[in-house]
Amino acid sequence: MPGFDISREDGDTKGRYVLTSDGVEAELTYSILSPRTRIADHTGVPDALRGTGAGLALVTRLVEDARAEGWKIVPLCPFVNAQRRRHPEWADAFNV
């Protein structure tokens, strides 16, 4: 998405996507349950980025990576789950 720089940080059991816009960061954190499953834990968007599409951009990147790398998303995070329901075309990326 224009204006958003999204990076991904993977650890052994946890990871996160970090979106930066005008020096402000939003994040989507996840737990690595197995090589084939990630649990979307939390999406945090600061007030400065609310209403900009930052949260949707983070979830979109999560879905794109799940599809490209062959793993499924368990949407524990209420925001991720709400976006899943709003985007039925993403159903193949989720394990619900």
pLDDT in tens, the chain (96 residues): 455 889 999 999 999 999 999 889 999 999 999 999 999 999 999 999 999 999 999 999 999 999 999 999 999 999 999 999 999 999 999 998
Domain 5-89, CATH: 3.40.630.30
Task: Indicate the pTM of the whole model.
Answer: 0.94
Residue 37 to residue 45: CA distance in whole angstroms: 24
Amino acid in position 33: L
Residue 77 to residue 66: CA distance in whole angstroms: 16
Residue recorded with tokens 């990076």: 7
Classify strands 14-21 and 24-34 as parallel, antiparallel or unpaired.
antiparallel
Classify strands 37-44 and 24-34 as parallel, antiparallel or unpaired.
antiparallel
Domain residue spans of the chain = 5-89
Classify strands 14-21 and 5-10 as parallel, antiparallel or unpaired.
antiparallel
